[in-house]
Every structure is written in structure tokens, then in C-alpha cells.
Amino acid sequence: MQIDHSIGLDVQEEVYNPSDDSYLLLKVVEVSPGDNFLDMGSGTGIIGIHAAKAGAKVICADHNPYAVECTRRNAARNEVRLEAVRSDLFESLSGLYDVIAFNPPYLPGKQSSTSWIERSWAGGEEGSELTIRFLEDAWRHLLPGGRIYVVLSSAGGFMSVLKAAKARYSAEMLEEHRMFFESIFAYRFAVRSSQSQ
């Protein structure tokens, strides 16, 4: 999707503010009108709002209650229809999707932190644990031919994610963004045809 500069976002202290990783993900996600779209870890709702404006049927999910409320406010501000729900990954979700987008917490840090903003970047001891947990379940929520877009980081055990995903998914790196201290990568995952759903 292309960045729609007409979209305005309110941000708040307890919610991850869109950054380089958010825009990298937005750049690579492909969505068509009528697609069932899941914005996992929606934060401000930036990805889901873009998808809704592109004609997708959107559900935004986040474990952070402040993010869920922020997404709802931003959807209303931009006059788009979407559903925002609080969910720890797929815990409260039951639908099937054509496209799932996830900008996960991918840096080393404990998910048990009481600070919501710390939880937005802390992906476990190596940084990859939460993403691996997500991929273990995500295939069950894809429609046939569905795809998953995820941001990974050189600072967050991305090779562990690729290794864990290898048996079930094909993975393609779509884009890399190099920064002073790390590189972030946008990957597309698809369920291997030999896997049954």
C-alpha cells in the first residue's frame, strides 16, 4: 500500500508511535478491495486504517487496551469502518483472513513488563519469541492463498523466526531498511501447499 498522507493519527503515551518499521510494513502490504484483513498489534491503527481505505474488511487487534482505544479513535477520525478488539495474539479472534499484517515487538526484552510502551518493543529474551508464537498459530487463521506480512529485526533474533517458520511457511524478504544500529526486514509468509489447514 502507498502512504496516504491525508490520514491523520492521534497518538498517546502508552501506544507505540508509528516509526520506520510501521512504514516499512505499510509499504509492502498488498491488499485488495473485499479482502478480510487482520492488523495484528495495531497500535495507532495506521496499517488497518490504510487497508480499510483500500476497501478491505478490517479487524485490528492489540493486547494493549490503550492501543485498541487509540485505533478506534483514529478510525473515527479518518471516517473508516473497522473493528478493534483486545486480544493476546489470536486469543480473542476466530475469523479467517486473506491478509494478516504484524509489526511485532522484536527487540530483546521481557514481555512481562508492566509498561505498555515497553511491551510494544520487547519480544522476549532473544526478541523473536513473540513472533514465533504468532507464526505457530497464524496459519490456522488464513484463508486459502492467504499471506502474512511481518517486520523482523537483525537485533531481534530474526534467524530464529525464519528457522521456526521453515517447516510450515515459505518466506520471502520483500524489503530491507538499514539503520545505524540494526536492519529491519519486511517478510511475506505463505503456508506451504503441502500443509493442510
In the chain, what are the domains?
20-191 (3.40.50.150)
**pLDDT tens digit string along 160-171?**
999 999 999 999
**pLDDT tens digit string along 71-97?**
999 999 999 999 999 999 999 999 999
Dihedral in degrees, nearest 10, Cα atoms 109, 115, 116, 122: 0
Fill in the amino acid letter for 5: H
**pLDDT tens digit string along 111-161?**
666 676 677 766 677 878 889 999 999 999 999 999 999 999 888 888 999
Cell 521453515, residue located? 166
Spell out a b/e string for 83-92, using b for 16 or more CB atoms within 10 Å of the CB, else e. ebeebebbee
Determine the average pLDDT of the residues in 14-42. 95
Residues sharing a CB contact under 8 Å with residue 155, sequence separation 6 or more, in sequence order: 106, 107, 108, 127, 181, 182
**pLDDT tens digit string along 38-70?**
999 999 999 999 999 999 999 999 999 999 999
Instruction: Report the alpha-carbon distance of residue 64 to residue 41 in Å, rounded.
Output: 8
Dihedral in degrees, nearest 10, Cα atoms 57, 20, 93, 147: 70
